[in-house]
């Protein structure tokens, strides 16, 4: 599997990744590098730091929790975890053996690079032609689900722990299924259900503007009203 694609796909989960989940999803490859943004606080200061994970010891039900061990880097080089204070650092620049990484089983980790080789199958990445074998739409192709249950696809992409999609294929397929509305098209939902875009524009143009801002399924070129 292409490494860059796997990294991009795993990071679709946003800040839900832990070092433990990353370890499983990359096929238990070691070492790997990851960066943490506590509570989603993305900043240059956090970007300047990362850890290099050399060992993972899963624990808890299903191995979901556990501990990770490695080294601390700042600005791309080994460093003391507490700048200029080795004695307060969980990892010192001089450490030769991997040290326990704080918050390894917490969320907010972003995968940066995979340095080692996988020793197990990495996470499956579904393409649009693939049949889902887990979840609510098990047995259906991803392209079918994109067409009639886009809300679930968005939810699964961000939240389902073991469901990963080829994002580029999903976006392309989604764009195919989006209908661009015109003046004589009729809304099939909402408070003006059954009325044409032309009629709604005449009585409540602000509602159409609101739809355009809040409903990704409402695609309409307002230049048609000129």
Cβ contact 71:121 at 8 Å: no
Tell whether pTM > 0.75: yes
By percentage, how much of the chain surpasses pLDDT 70?
99
Q: How far is CA 189 from CA 195, 216, 218, in A?
A: 10, 14, 11
DSSP code of 186?
B
Predicted confidence (pLDDT) at residue 63 exceeds the cutoff of 80: no
pLDDT at 91: 97
Specify the pairing of strand 125-126 against strand 164-165: parallel
Rounded CA separation 176/70 (Å) = 45
Helices (H) and strands (E) in the chain, counts: 7, 10
- Between residues 77 and 216, which one has the greater pLDDT? 77
Predicted confidence (pLDDT) at residue 19 exceeds the cutoff of 80: yes
pLDDT at 108: 93
Alpha carbon distance, N-terminus to C-terminus of the chain:
51
Rounded CA separation 34/50 (Å) = 6
pLDDT at 116: 97
Boundaries of every domain in the chain: 3-114, 125-177, 180-225
Residue range 120-168, pLDDT digits in tens: 999 999 999 999 998 899 999 999 999 889 889 999 998 888 899 999 9
pLDDT at 206: 95
Position 39 confidence tier, pLDDT thresholds 50, 70, 90: confident
């Amino acid at each position: 599997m292409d490494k860059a694609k796997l990294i991009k796909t795993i990071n679709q989960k946003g800040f839900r990744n832990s070092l433990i989940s990353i370890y499983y999803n990359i096929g238990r490859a070691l070492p790997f590098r990851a960066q943490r943004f506590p509570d989603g606080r993305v900043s240059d200061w956090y970007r300047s730091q990362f850890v290099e994970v050399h060992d993972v010891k899963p624990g808890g039900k299903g191995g979901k929790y556990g501990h990770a061990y490695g080294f601390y880097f700042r600005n791309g080089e080994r460093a003391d975890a507490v700048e200029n204070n080795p004695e307060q650092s969980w990892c010192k620049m001089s450490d030769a053996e991997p040290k326990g990484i704080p918050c390894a089983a917490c969320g907010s980790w972003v995968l940066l690079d995979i340095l080692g080789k996988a020793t197990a199958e990495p996470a499956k990445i579904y393409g649009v032609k693939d049949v889902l074998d887990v979840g609510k739409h098990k047995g259906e192709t991803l392209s079918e689900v994109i067409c009639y249950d886009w809300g679930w696809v968005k939810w699964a992409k961000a939240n389902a722990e073991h469901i990963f999609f080829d994002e580029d294929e999903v976006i392309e397929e989604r764009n195919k299924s989006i209908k661009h509305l015109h003046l004589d098209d009729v809304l099939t939902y909402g408070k003006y259900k059954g009325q044409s875009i032309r009629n709604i524009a005449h009585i409540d143009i602000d509602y159409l503007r609101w739809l355009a801002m809040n409903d990704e399924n409402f695609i309409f070129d307002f230049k048609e009203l000129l």
